[in-house]
Structure formats: structure tokens, C-alpha cells
Structure 1
């Protein structure tokens, strides 16, 4: 009788723990694996990251979303939030007319020679047909600008397609922590 009670108690504890873990994973945080080189060198193919499903998305955050053009998830950096106008000129990003440095591109820009540009010139209107990022949408770009299928090609990303914000990397172990 005593063993039966203990087994029942253990089973209840395991069920409760499973429900809590499932709830946390489904509603709050979730692990994800980076596929591809579009965010290199910030995030590399095979990196494992933890995403928050409840964090507010802001400009320059890294997000994972359902790809509108493939049956997979993409990870990119948010460059424009609703209401923003975007322009890239001479490898300098302008958001709402204000010049922004992109420190996460510093390493990639160091490898350029002469008049090479990491990011081709464009305006939001040229690549999307819109002057501003629409409500409930984001304009995203990969850090590996020459090898990224992003909003310059696939258009705006719907807020509803966002799975979560990348909060930190947990693999490889020598790179555990926050991400620039």
C-alpha cells in the first residue's frame, strides 16, 4: 500500500512537472537551431539559441520567424519597425533619416577592399513598394548581407509569423551568452 501511494505521488509530480515544462516552452521560451549562413558572423550555422516568445520586438533585435517563401524558419535582424522609413546609402543605414552605425557588421566590413560595399544601396520604396514599414510588420536583414534572403527579397515580415526574439546562445559552449 505504501509503495503504491509513493508511486502515485511520484507519477503526479512527474505529470505536473511535464505540464509546467510544456507550458514554459510553448508560451515563454523555446530552443532553436540556426540553419544557414545569413546571420554570419553573429550567428553561425548550427548555433543553438534560446528564444523568448514574450519579449517586445525592437529595432536591431534578432528574431526567428516562419519564412514566407519556404517551409522553414529564418533568423534575421530587425532593421525597421512599423512606421519606419529605411534607406541604405554608401554602406550606411538610415532609419527615419537618422544615420545608424551597425557595430555587428564591423568584422565583415573590415574584409572589404577598395570601393566594395557590404550592403547595396536601396530605399524601402525600391525594394518593397512602400514608403514606411506597415503596421504589424517588420523589415529584416541578415548580417551576412551578400548571402541573406531577407526583406529586400521576401518583403515585410508579419508580426504574426514571429516565433520569438533570440535572447542568448547556448551552443557552442565556448560562445555561451548574449549576442551582439
Structure 2
């Protein structure tokens, strides 16, 4: 008696996959768990860009903030807005009016202080150098009140260093010349004994003379206390424009030459 063989004949095996010329099949390795592992190296994956983009955005933001801060400080050093409080500068300026003040116009450099950092700079006999110009008669200026520097006042420059100034029956005389003052409405009701304005100091008065707390009451303003010149009114809109800076002309001085 014969029994059929339990071993399959070669003809019973599954046919090998047919390969066409030029085709490739990936070799495989059988692991301990009969898992199939691709033996070809995986293609490199692109590096994640998220952190790089975050760092770049953070750096750009920092640059923008630094630039904005520098611009703000530069503008702040040259100009500043102030609000008028009180009626001492009427009729030209009114309570609640907002003004732009030019802080750069009177800016000066102290070469003695600069020489502390740059020894090759010589301050000379006049170490303070004015960048543009000093306050002149007729300028409307904002300054720190000498007796309380936390308070800011706005007045008009009437006399500059070296000038003699007096007020007689409300009429102002500078260097013995009577001032023509079209910016005031009423003659003040006080006198002021003649004084000479000290160096680096200024005599200032409000345009509303009888209602102004100014140099006739408390003295001169040191140059260091002057913040800047009021140049422009921007609020309210009906007051848009200049603030009444004017030049006080004392006339021509005749000099006889030998």
C-alpha cells in the first residue's frame, strides 16, 4: 500500500514572483518576531523650521522695539507737548490749550563734561556751546519754576543777560527803552525797581500782566531751568497755529568809531 507523500512536489509550490528586466525588489530581513524591517536607509527628513522662525521673529521684534525706543527718545529730546494751565498768558494762550515745545532750539553742550570722557577736547574759557541759539526777547518759553522745579511755567522773555529792566506804572523799560507790547491787552498795575539781568538768567513776564506770577514777583529764571520755546498750538483745533512768538526790537544802537 502506498500513501501519498506529505511533502509537496516542486510543482505544488507557489510560483516565484515574476521579475521584469530592470525591476528591483527590496531585500528584507526577518527578525526574531518575524517582523519585516526595510533594510534600505530611510530618506533624510527635513529639519523642523518652527524654532528657527520663532527665533527670527523674536529678533526682528526686538530690533523694532529698540528702533522705536531710540526714535521716541530722539523726538522727546527735541520736542514735547505741554498743556497750558491758568490764564497768565491770555489773550494769546488759554487754559487747557495744548502746545508743542521745541526743546532743541536752546540746547547747549558743556565741553567740560564732554572732556571727562574725551580728554582731547578742550573746553576753553567758554565751555558751554549753544547748538542753535539762546532765548531772545519776545520768545514764549516753558521753564521749571526756580522755587519748585516740579512745576512748569510758560511766560514771555522780556530781558536777557546784561539787560537792565524796570517797570514804571505798568510800562516796561529795557535798557531805558519803552517796550511796544501788542501782545498784552491791559497795562499791569504794579512797578518793578530797575535791575540788571544776571549772566545765564532771564526776566520773564506773562502776557496777562495783572494776573501772572512771574519774574516781577520772584526773580529771574536760570538758563538751566528753561525747557524750550513754545512754537505751535495743536488743540483745540480752533486754536491751531503759532503761539505768538515775537521779536522785541529795542532799536538801533549808534556806535561812534574813532
Match 1:57 to one of 122, 129, 135: 135
Corresponding position of 1:135: 199
TM-score, normalisation: structure 1: 0.82
Q: 1:92 & 1:72 partners in 2: Cα distance? A: 28
For the residue of structure 1 that corresponds to 2:71, the secondary structure is helix
Counterpart check, 1:21 vs 2:72: yes
Structure with greater helix share of residues: 1
Q: CA deviation at 1:43?
A: 1.3
Q: Which residue of 1 aligns with 2:95?
A: 45
1:68 partnered with 2:146:
yes
Q: How big is each residue's C-alpha offset from its partner over 1:23-74, in whole Å with a ceiling of 9 and x where there is no partner?
A: 320x211111111111112111111111112223111111111112344111
Residue 92 of structure 1 contacts residue 101 of structure 1 at CA under 8 Å; is this kept in 2?
A: no
- Residue 113 of structure 2 corresponds to residue 35 of structure 1: no
Q: 1:162 to 1:124 in 2, by over 3 A?
A: farther
Q: Residue 60 of structure 1: SS of its match in structure 2?
A: coil
SS at match of 2:233: strand
Give the match's secondary structure for 1:46.
coil
User: Is contact 2:170–2:191 with CA below 8 Å preserved after alignment?
Assistant: no
- Which residue of structure 1 aligns with residue 191 of structure 2? 122
Count of residues in Structure 1 that have an aligned counterpart in Structure 2:
164
Specify every segment of 5 or more residues in structure 2 that has no aligned partner in the other structure, as ranges: 1-51, 106-133, 245-258
Q: If the length of structure 2 is used for normalisation, what is the TM-score?
A: 0.59
Q: Quote the Cα distance in structure 2 between the aligned partners of 1:65 and 1:158.
A: 9
Counterpart contact for 1:88–1:119, Cα < 8 Å: no
Give 1:3 shift.
5.1
Uncovered stretches (5+) of structure 1, i.e. residues with no partner: 110-117, 126-130
Contact 2:103–2:229 at 8 Å: present in 1 too?
yes
Q: Distance in 2 between matches of 1:81 and 1:16?
A: 39
Is the contact made by 1:41 and 1:143 (CA closer than 8 Å) also made in structure 2? yes
Taking the aligned partners of 1:6 and 1:48, their CA distance within structure 2 comes to 39
Q: Which has the higher contact order (CA 8 A, sep 6+)?
A: 1
User: Shift of the alpha carbon at 1:100?
Assistant: 2.2
Higher mean alpha-carbon deviation, 147-156 vs 49-58, is at 49-58
> Which of 43, 47, 60 is matched with 1:9 structurally?
60
The Cα RMSD (Å) is 1.8
